[in-house]
Amino acid sequence: MPLRLPAIAAVLAFAALLGGCHNAKALLPPNLRPPSENTGDALKLAQLQLMQASPCCSSFADFSYRNLLPWQPQKFVLGRGSMVANLNGTQSYFLAFRLPTELKLPYKVAMKSELNGRWLHASYLFAPTVVLLDAGFQPIRSEDIGLCEHMGWGDETTGAFGSLSIDSAQARYLLVYSSAEQQSGKTYWEQSPASFSASSAASLQMNSTGSFSIPHGPDGTLWVGLMNKTYEKALDNAICKKAAKGDGVLNTLRTALPLPWSNGSAGKAGHSPSP
């Protein structure tokens, strides 16, 4: 009995699959192919663009503080076309805000830096530095904001989170930039770069286990505004560093809840020793 056309087509397709495993990656759409860009190259290009920009400001009084700090985190894209400052010999893109005066102290400012790059292993972050200023543009406090990773269910709760507490009645302005220390630093991340397992065409899959550090760079997307519940919850659950290794679950349980038959505790359990 002759084979039907659908059966022949299925057999041919299966044979082509077995014979063309080595070409499986080439058949993947661009957004699933291994990244070709290099983090170092992207960083060098971004740093070069920043260094070639002409700074507008070099003292705290030079900045414009007309924009009020957003009442909730708002997206700002810092990079080519943004204004550049030169502070303490370091060039950086920046944001400048006037602070609300009607809020009860203390209150918190939320920040979130997004990955700058399409692939995790070729990405970097804009790490913010903040300066609080009084009415005379004199610095009250300067701080490099530590970033902690949180992977949420959507873009709003995914990124590198940080915060700043405003507790001074003299604080009138907020300047956000990236110091030399921040630009050369890194942020802990709990997922590894995406890689492929190509043992067969049918088992191509993304692998994102492990941990590493995301380098900081001179540009990127930063969310800044008054702390809200969404950001507060994300920050409370964020991961700031690699967890310390313990002795294992069983050892922890034995320490916390001693078993009645361990460490000579049999007598305490109500059993009389043998005569």
Q: How does pLDDT run across 175-209, given as a tens digit for each residue?
A: 999 999 999 999 998 864 443 333 333 333 334 45
- Provide the 8-state DSSP code for 272: P
Peptide bond into 106 cis (omega under 30): yes
CA–CA separation, 84 and 49 (whole Å): 11
Strands of 74-78's sheet, edge to edge?
74-78, 220-226, 107-113, 159-166, 148-150
Residue spans per domain, the chain: 65-194+206-242
CA–CA separation, 127 and 88 (whole Å): 17
CA–CA separation, 179 and 144 (whole Å): 8
Task: State the pLDDT at residue 93.
Answer: 98
- Residues 150, 152, 126, 118, CA torsion sign: positive
Helices (H), 96-210: 180-183
Q: How does pLDDT run across 35-73, given as a tens digit for each residue?
A: 445 556 888 999 999 999 999 999 999 999 999 999 999
Measured from the Cβ of residue 109, the count of other Cβ atoms closer than 10 Å reads 24
- The tens-digit pLDDT sequence of the chain (275 residues) is 554 555 555 555 555 544 554 444 444 444 444 444 555 688 899 999 999 999 999 999 999 999 999 999 999 999 999 999 999 899 999 999 999 999 999 999 999 999 988 777 788 999 999 999 999 999 999 999 999 999 888 888 999 999 999 999 999 999 999 999 999 999 998 864 443 333 333 333 334 456 678 999 999 999 999 999 999 999 999 999 877 665 554 554 455 555 555 454 444 444 545 44
CATH code for residues 65-194+206-242: 2.60.120
Q: pLDDT above 90 covers what percent of the chain?
A: 57
